[in-house]
């Protein structure tokens, strides 16, 4: 696999996306998805699912007029955001595929999912290269989400900027 090519391709997709959406500060996955919805002109619904060892922890379903992203509810907030961003990576890369879950597994994981949505979900999986792309895109967006906008501190009077820096050092961002 051409890792440098993959990284460059993913960086270009993230740069293009964030050029349109920006990154909310402080980071909030729902605000980011609101911006992504406006940019794409399509609603995105989040669906929390119970995750257990060995199961997929996320999925993206594309419908004619909206998208659904399923993510594991029983993990950390950081991990939930990463799962959602991974699925956004599939979305902005226009990946397609077929699900490897059995109907019983899918029904157990997402018992409230409509039968038509379940049928669509079961028709989706991606190859290893697409998974690497989605994971790289998620990591790149997550990296940008952790960077505090420097502009705000640059516009402050120096004494205020110094105080803010000390407060952030003591208490964290």
What predicted TM-score, i.e. pTM, was given to this entire model? 0.71
For position 155, what pLDDT does the model report? 66
Hey, where are the domains in the chain? 3-171
* C-alpha–C-alpha distance, residues 85 and 66, integer Å: 17
pLDDT (tens digit, 9 = 90+) per residue, 106-130?
677 677 777 666 665 555 444 688 8
Whether the link from the prior residue into 157 is cis, omega within 30° of 0, is no
For position 111, what pLDDT does the model report? 74
Burial class (CB in 10 A: 0-12, 13-18, 19+), 40: middle
pLDDT in tens, the chain (173 residues): 788 888 999 999 999 999 999 998 889 999 999 999 999 999 999 999 988 777 778 889 888 999 999 999 999 999 999 999 999 999 999 887 555 556 666 677 677 777 666 665 555 444 688 889 999 999 999 999 887 666 566 666 777 777 877 787 777 65
- Of 95, 87, 89, 21, nearest in space to 48 by CA: 87
């Amino acid at each position: 696999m051409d890792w440098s090519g993959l990284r460059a391709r993913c960086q270009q997709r993230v740069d293009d996306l964030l050029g349109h959406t920006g990154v909310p500060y402080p980071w909030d996955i729902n605000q980011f998805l609101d911006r992504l919805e406006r940019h794409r002109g399509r609603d995105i619904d989040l669906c929390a699912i119970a995750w257990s060892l060995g199961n997929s922890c996320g999925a993206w379903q594309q419908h004619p007029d909206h998208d659904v992203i399923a993510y594991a509810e029983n993990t950390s907030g950081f991990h939930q955001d990463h799962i959602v961003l991974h699925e956004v990576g599939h979305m902005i890369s226009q990946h397609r595929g077929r699900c490897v879950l059995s109907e019983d597994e899918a029904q157990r994981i997402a018992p409230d999912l409509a039968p038509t949505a379940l049928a669509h979900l079961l028709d989706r999986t991606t190859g290893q290269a697409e998974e690497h792309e989605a994971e790289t895109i998620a990591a790149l967006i997550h990296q940008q989400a952790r960077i505090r906008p420097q502009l705000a501190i640059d516009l402050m009077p120096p004494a205020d900027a110094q105080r803010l820096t000390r407060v952030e050092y003591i208490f964290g961002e």
